[in-house]
Amino acid sequence: MPVVRQTAAESAQATGRRRPSFHTLSVAQVRRLTGDAIEVAFHVPAELAGHFDYLPGQYVALRTMLPNESGEQQEVRRSYSICAEPRSFEDGSSEIRVAVKKDLGGLFSTWANAELKAGDTLDVMSPMGAFVSKHGRDGTPVDRNVVNSMNHPEDLAGQAGSFVAVAAGSGITPIIAIARTLLAANADTRFDLIYANKAAMDVMFLEELADLKDKYPQRMAIHHVLSREQRIAPLLSGRIDAEKLQQLLGTAIRADDVDEWFLCGPFELVQLCRDTLAERGVRPDAIRFELFSSGKPDRPEGHSGRPVVADESAETFKITFKLDGLQGEVASPTHARESLLNAALRVRPDVPFACAGGVCGTCRAKVVTGTVTMDENYALEQDELDKGYVLTCQSHPTSKEVMVDFDV
């Protein structure tokens, strides 16, 4: 009897889940936001629309080939948050919009800001990420892994709620999509935003935020904090430190009656906010957060697995992994201390990953047998950890044999 294998899309439809995959999309528009930031719109044809359903706050990974310092072409992957609420067109097509801010020394962001234009094509991964509202209809939590809940933003806020976001720089990208969706979904919802930048010229989506405030004048409040410009209110000038944050929460924000918090920015700011909210008694499950980086930006190990010297006489870990219904196996020398992701990439280059830094969660898998240790985790929530999920880019085997499943 022949074995019938499901495609990734069929499996996702059947289980309600999907694993990330790349598709080539064309750039429909490139719009300048600031002197060092652009908004890129990708056209999603009708036949691919189902692969790009998403919840506001999620991100996509972009992949292309760029020359390195030696002029050699290399694969580059970068993750960017989606900055627009979900929508589709009459012909069944849709779009994905992301904002790309140029980072000092950033290979991809520098190239995109200087050269990317309408008509170009890039490989775009299907949306992922846990930075979404869990304030669901009738209080039911929204599962960010369930495909059939995507592109139904009305499910995010069936109940009225009070929401507060703290963002810095390009951290506004997912926040603006979340705010637009929540405010539109319920006429009694309130959204407060604390947005930190160096100067007014650095504020991304300045006009869009002003329009949002004008559209919901009684329900939307925006507090721009500029670190290098003097504002009329001293509270809104200078860097956000512990004292300033406490003042903001005590005066500008009604912090004692908030249903959900959204934090997006560099590690130091996000951690400061988390610690401050914890001191104020805010429940951890009411806080969503996303980082620019982990604060400990280890160099990604490569896109095909960094070289590992094999020695048949040396001890090895046996790493088995399941992906798209197929099982792979690789021996990992104990002295190499390579991650599960790196080991898997050496034998199967289509293993999903994006940042390789413990931030995005694309490489998430479940430990089926064996034990591992995880260096960093800024992507998985406690309920996922309790179920045995790990970030394979940060996980190293601690037992002789380990098996992980990317499909569950």
Q: What is the pLDDT of residues 53-64, one digit of tens each?
A: 999 999 999 999
Average pLDDT over residues 10-23: 58
Mean pLDDT, range 361-386, rounded to an integer: 93
Task: Say which residue the tokens 């294998």 belong to.
Answer: 5
- Select 22-128's CATH number: 3.40.309.10, 2.30.110.10, 2.40.30.10, 3.40.50.300: 2.40.30.10
- Residue range 326-337: mean pLDDT, rounded: 91
pLDDT at 207: 96
Type of residue at 329: E
pLDDT in tens, 80-123: 999 999 988 999 999 999 999 998 778 999 999 999 999 999 99
Q: What is the pLDDT of residues 239-297, one digit of tens each?
A: 999 999 999 998 888 777 899 999 999 999 999 999 999 999 999 989 999 987 544 44
Which one-letter DSSP state was computed for residue 92?
A: S
Q: Is the pLDDT of residue 15 over 50?
A: no
CB-based contacts of 152, cutoff 8 Å, min separation 6: none
Q: Which of 1-15, 129-143, 322-336 has the lowest mean pLDDT?
A: 1-15
- Note the pTM of the prediction, 2 decimals: 0.82
DSSP 279: H
| pLDDT score recorded for residue 312 | 55
Across the chain, mean pLDDT equals: 85
- Whole-number Å distance between alpha carbons of 57 and 135: 13
CA 69 from centroid of its chain's CA atoms:
28
d(CA 123, CA 25): 6
Q: What integer is the mean pLDDT of 224-245?
A: 90
pLDDT in tens, 133-154: 987 544 444 444 444 344 444 4
CATH no. of 316-405: 3.10.20.30
* Token pair listed for 318: 């046996």
Which pLDDT does position 144 carry in this prediction? 47
* Contact status, residue 60 vs residue 98, Cβ threshold 8 Å: yes
Sheet with strand 73-81: strands edge to edge: 73-81, 59-67, 121-125, 22-34, 37-44, 94-101
Query: Residue 16's closest CA among 144, 141, 127?
Result: 144
Distance separating alpha carbons of residues 140 and 324, to the nearest angstrom: 30
Q: How far apart are CA 290 and CA 168, in angstroms?
A: 11
Q: Which of 67-76, 127-136, 289-298, 371-380 has the lowest mean pLDDT?
A: 289-298
Cα–Cα distance for residue pair 28/43, rounded to 1 Å: 6
The three-point CA angle 262-169-126 to 5° equals: 65
Query: Above 70 in pLDDT, residue 323?
Result: yes
* Model confidence at 238: pLDDT above 70: yes
Does 157 score more than 50 pLDDT? no
What pLDDT is stored for residue 43 in this prediction?
Answer: 97
Q: What per-residue confidence (pLDDT) applies to 250?
A: 87
d(CA 279, CA 247): 14
Confidence of residue 302 (pLDDT cuts 50, 70, 90): very low
CATH 3.40.50.80 in the chain, residue ranges? 153-291
pLDDT beyond 80 at 156: no
Mean pLDDT of the 155-161 span = 63
Please tell me whether residue 5 adopts helix, strand or coil conformation: coil
Band (13; pLDDT cuts 50, 70, 90): very low
Coil, strand or helix: which one is 324?
A: coil
Say if residues 245 and 168 touch (Cβ distance below 8 Å). Answer: no
Task: Please give the full DSSP string across 178-232, using - where no structure is assigned.
Answer: HHHHHHHH-TT-EEEEEEEESSGGG-TTHHHHHHHHHHSTTTEEEEEEESSS--S
Q: Which of 117-126, 141-150, 315-324, 340-349 has the lowest mean pLDDT?
A: 141-150
Domain covering 153-291 in this structure, CATH number:
3.40.50.80
What distance in Å separates the CA atoms of residue 183 and residue 99, rounded to the nearest whole number? 21
Tokens of 351: 């293993």
Q: What is the pLDDT of residue 229?
A: 86
Beta bridge partners of 328: 321
Q: What are phi and psi of 356, to 5 degrees?
A: 60, 25
Is residue 357's pLDDT more than 70?
A: yes
Place of tokens 């044999």: 401
pLDDT class of 354 with cuts at 50, 70, 90 = confident
Please check whether residue 181 is in contact with residue 153, taking contact to mean a CB–CB distance below 8 angstroms.
yes
Q: Rounded to whole angstroms, how far apart are CA atoms 73 and 83?
A: 29
Q: What is the pLDDT, as a whole number, of residue 255?
A: 76
Per-residue model confidence (pLDDT) at position 70: 82
Q: Given this model, what pLDDT does residue 108 score?
A: 93
Residue 36 CB partners (closer than 8 Å, separation 6+) = 101, 102, 113
CA dihedral 277, 282, 288, 289 (to 10 degrees): 20
Q: Where in the chain do CATH 2.40.30.10 domains reside? A: 22-128
SS3 at position 82? strand
Residue 165 token pair: 């976001």
Delimit the CATH 3.10.20.30 region(s) of the chain.
Answer: 316-405
